[in-house]
Structure 1
Amino acid sequence: MTTHTELEVQIDQWRAYVRRHRAISTADVDEMEDHLRERVADLVATGLDDQEAFLVAVRRMGSLDAVSREFASEHSDRLWKQLVLVPDQADDARRSWRELAVVLALALGAGATVRIGLGILDEDVMTRTVGLLVLPFLGAYLAWKRQLTARVLGVLAVPYAVLALVLALYPFGSAGTTLVLAAVHAPVALWALVGVAYVGGRWRSDAHRMDFARFTGELAVYLTLLALGGAVLVGLTAGVVDLAGMDIEPAIENWILPFAVPGALVVAAWLVEAKQDVVENIAPVLTRVFTPLTLVMLLVLLAVLTTAGGLVDADRGLLILMDAILVLVLGLLLYSVSARDPLARPGLFDGLLLALLGAALAVDAVALTAMLTRIAEFGFSANKVAALGLNVLLLVHLVGAAVLLLAFLRGRRPFDALSRWQTRFLPVYAVWAAVVVVVFPPVFGFE
């Protein structure tokens, strides 16, 4: 089917509403989207235009009556509201105990694997392979949830095996630079494999990649909530045990944390899948609160950098902090894009996002200048090249986003163009992370 921007926006919006319906799994949403696109293609072939074909195809999706009714009620300005008002059906909200059992089993498996690894692996090996031990359990849950085919599982197994062999067999120096770089970048490459599992192998779809980006943000929210709740619970328990004259710290270090931290990742993913509508209501609020705060932080950071003196003397920790802030900016931008109605007109918040991008570009330009100055003064190293590569990627990503957002504000490009740019650039970070893990150690002598 020929891709048309307006039709893709409508289908993406329809998909977002359908996947928020707790009684419908993501795998079912994928199948229903395929049916919807097939019906639209058939109707277009009969002579209807995209808009007419979409209206008729949605009306004929009989199994989505309740969800379509909800979608139509919130989009009262849409013509097809009158086409889908059908008798409401009861919403089956019963919890799937089978899925809960699978989640708990995988969470315990992840914790047990980490605990065993801590017992038999030395610290350096554990540092660089912890992602290999934990993320397969999250991937297994998503694979079970999406009912992945053997072909997709095979595609996932090959890069995972390559990363595992590299991290296990490379002769890294103890606490060396390339070891630290591999330990930091390996989870990024592995997270891309989790993304392939999440989208059911349909990584080429912009809508599916945006779903995964949204999933990542929601997962971070739930992990934060679980961490806060767990910290309070462990703290109260430790206080009570301490009053009884017992020391619970060894148990916390050797058992509670090794099981709780990796297990929380799987549980958080299950919560995201089960409670998508709750986070959908929180996400827009979070982005609107943190976007202006992050803008203020960027402006303060920019003022500090411009008054700190020579860039060659810029503290390494400050440069790392700058990169972390820029990644946060991209996360906010991506989450804001995913939570925004693509058909809504430009507003004040869109202008605020553009200001945020402008400040981020200024900070990134200063960071790049500082890095190039340090390289010219002291020469190349694994850390400097890795940081330089990341900042170049961030610069390209930010410039593209700023140009498209400005064009949208001026009415020259649809908002969907910005969304596509965001999702299509994400795989570049995974490729760069894989390069740092696989190529950098031998190039820089495993130092």
Structure 2
Amino acid sequence: MTLDSDSDLEGQIAQWRAYTRRRRELHHADTEELEDHLRSRITELTEAGLRTDEAFLIAVKRMGSLDELSREFAREHSERLWKQLVLPGEPDAPVAARTRRELPVMVLCAALAALAIKVPSWFGLDLADEDTAFYARNLSLFALPALAAYFAWQRRVGVRVVGALAALFALGAVAANAYPLAGDSQSFGLTAIHLPLALWLVVGVAYVGGDWRSERRRMDFIRFTGEWVIYFSLLALGGGVLTAFTAGTFRAIGIDAEGFISSWLLPCGGMAAVVVSAWLVEAKQSVIENMAPVLTRVFTPLFAATLLAFLVAVAWTTTGIDVERDVLILFDLLLVVVLGLLLYAISARDAVARPGLFDRLQLALVVSALVIDVLVLVAITGRITEWGFSPNKTAALGENIVLLTNLAWSAWLFLGFVRGRTPFARLERWQTRYLAVYAGWAWVVVLAFPLVFDFA
């Protein structure tokens, strides 16, 4: 099949999937099962020589009327349907049973993550000032392996996938600790920033059950990441309140709890929250699916207005962008937030809905971020031309090129979609496939930059 035929087919399947998900009788797992059957039939027909559009139509027809399928599911799951109609807040029995089975495993993985950050103290490495550098390099290695183990168990992945996950985490541990990085070196800071990103995408391999080639599962991981950030932020806010009450109440009876808070409550609670947040996303999907799209719709126009105002100010004052280290970090974080809003908005959008005002706002956001990225790149290039390469400036240059490529093509695809010339599925595929670029760049910074710049 050609690229165009693949695009058309994915668009047709996306429309069919969106229609099935509007049926109350069909759960998410039911839709996935039906889609797997549909794709298998399409593959058989295309291998027999049919065009993709013909294969799609015949496969859908052979599967039967969706109304008939819905009635069949209703007959097989009459109790489930009755609960949906009469008790909409009541969870399905299979879902509740699955949640109960997963709870002890989640608690075990969260406990392992919480204890992992205390293991170095057994060897004399405490969370004191002199040992802060060690914990900064290895922070992602305390919780993310436990999270990957939880998903590997949940998805029942094979031995080969488990071996690949273990090898990647071992590679990250070697990169974080084998290089002689001084705590005040630029390479140290770059490793501390990029290793969590690289290992988070390793967790993504466990999340998709090792099926990283599936675009649908990669998009599920993008959606999960956005939801995980929301839950982790909520847990962090709750943890802050708990910490304040703990310190205050014990101080009222003459007991200083600061040592317990700094040595146990905050580090162990933070690591455990990484796993607990993931479990909450999986167990409470119906709640977060209502929350996350609302947040996306609130902050997209606000960020778009802010970026447009900044560009107007740049044009009015004719002032270039300062490329000092803190400013570079600020702009990179801004671009990452914009990209995050774009990714999550894409993952939460109905692929068959017509372009609307919100899509135009997203296009304005992406174009504004693209222009700012170009300005930052011009400033970085001028700085490198004047002062030469350094780890920070080189990393900033590479990251902005990576972001520029994604934003530029996203803007082009968004423009085509808004004008009715490009299917939304192409934008989804572009974003999911670009995850490999982010992963590759993060590993390059972690593994190669210290060697290239002589650990400076």
Q: Answer yes or no: same fold by TM over 0.5.
A: yes
Q: 1:409 — aligned with what? A: 418
Structure 2 SS opposite 1:380: coil
* Aligned partners of 1:311 and 1:369 also within 8 Å: no
What is the Cα deviation at residue 284 of structure 1? 1.8
* Matched-pair contact (CA < 8 Å) for 1:12–1:207: no
The alignment covers a number of residue pairs equal to 424
Indicate if the aligned counterparts of 1:7 and 1:54 stay in contact, CA closer than 8 A: no
**Structure-1 residue corresponding to 2:355:** 346
Partner of 1:398: 407
Query: Superposed, which structure 2 residues align to 1:188-199 within 5 Å?
Result: 188-199=197-208
3-state SS of paired residue (2:181): coil
Question: Structure 1 residue aligned with 2:108, among 80, 105, 108?
Answer: 105
Q: Partners in 1 of 2:236 and 2:252 — Cα distance?
A: 24
Residue 156 of structure 1, CA deviation: 2.0
Render the CA deviation track for 1:180-205: whole Å, top value 9, x for unaligned.
10111011111111111111111111
- The superposition leaves residues 381-422 of structure 1 with CA deviations (integer Å, 9 ceiling, x where unpaired) of 000000000000111000000000101111211011111111
Q: Which residue is equivalent to 1:176? A: 185
Equivalent residue number for residue 171 of structure 2: 162
Distance in 1 separating the partners of 2:27 and 2:152: 16
Structure 2 contact 15–352 (Cα < 8 Å) conserved:
no
Deviation at 1:54? 2.8
**What is aligned with 1:84?**
70
**Aligned equivalent of 2:429:** 420
Q: Residue in 1 aligned with 2:365?
A: 356
Aligned residues of 2:301 and 2:361 also touching (Cα < 8 A): yes
Residue 342 of structure 1 deviates from its aligned partner by 0.8
When normalised by structure 1's length, the TM-score is: 0.87
Root-mean-square deviation (CA, aligned residues, Å) is 2.7
Encode CA deviations 1:120-156: one digit per residue, 9 max, x unaligned: 3333222111212221000000000000101111222
Instruction: Write the distance in 1 (CA, Å) between the matches of 2:266 and 2:31.
Output: 36
For residues 55 and 105 of structure 1, the distance between their equivalents in structure 2, rounded to whole angstroms, comes to 47
Q: Displacement, 1:8? A: 2.5
Structure 2 vs 1, CA of residues 25 and 409 (structure 1 numbering), >3 Å: closer, same or farther? closer
Describe how 1:131-280 pairs up with structure 2 within 5 A.
131-280=140-289
Residue 82 of structure 1 and its aligned partner are, at CA, apart by: 5.6
| 2-structure distance, mates of 1:242, 1:196 | 46
Deviation at 1:36, TM superposition (A): 4.0
Residue 50 of structure 1 is matched in structure 2 by: 56
What residue in structure 2 maps to residue 8 of structure 1?
10
| Long gaps (5+) in structure 2 | 81-91, 126-130
4+ residue runs over 6 A deviation: 13-18, 23-26, 28-32
In structure 2, give the amino acid aligned to 1:85.
Answer: R
Secondary structure, aligned partner of 2:209 = coil
Percent sequence identity is 48
Q: C-alpha separation between the residues in 1 aligned to 2:34 and 2:432?
A: 22
> Matched residues in 1 for 2:173 and 2:17: separation?
36
1:355-404 CA-partner distances (Å, limit 9, x unpaired):
11111111111111111111112211000000000000111000000000
Q: Residue 89 of structure 2 corresponds to which residue in structure 1?
A: none
Structure 2 counterpart of 1:37? 39
Counterparts of 1:282 and 1:52 in 2: how far apart (Å)? 38
Q: Which residue does the alignment assign to 2:86? A: none
- Aligned-residue offset at 1:80: 3.0
Contact 2:138 2:176 in 1 (8 A): yes
Do the aligned partners of residues 392 and 418 (structure 1) sit closer, same or farther apart at CA in structure 2, a change above 3 Å counting? same
Tell me how far apart the structure 2 counterparts of residues 434 and 31 of structure 1 sit (CA, whole Å): 35
User: Which of 376, 379, 382 in structure 1 is aligned with 2:391?
Assistant: 382
In structure 2, distance between residues paired with 1:313 and 1:304: 14
3-state DSSP class of the match of 1:84?
helix
Q: Which residue of 1 aligns with 2:293?
A: 284
**Residues 32/112 of structure 1: CA separation in 2 closer, same or farther (3 Å cut):** farther
Query: Which residue matches 2:335?
Result: 326
User: Is the Cα–Cα contact under 8 Å of residues 358 and 402 in structure 1 kept in the other structure?
Assistant: yes
- 1: distance between equivalents of 2:218 and 2:68? 31
1:436 is paired with a residue of what secondary structure? Answer: helix
Instruction: Give the 3 Å change call, closer, same or farther, for CA 25–169 of structure 1 in structure 2.
Output: farther
Kindly indicate whether the alpha-carbon contact (under 8 Å) linking 1:118 and 1:126 is maintained by their aligned counterparts in 2. no
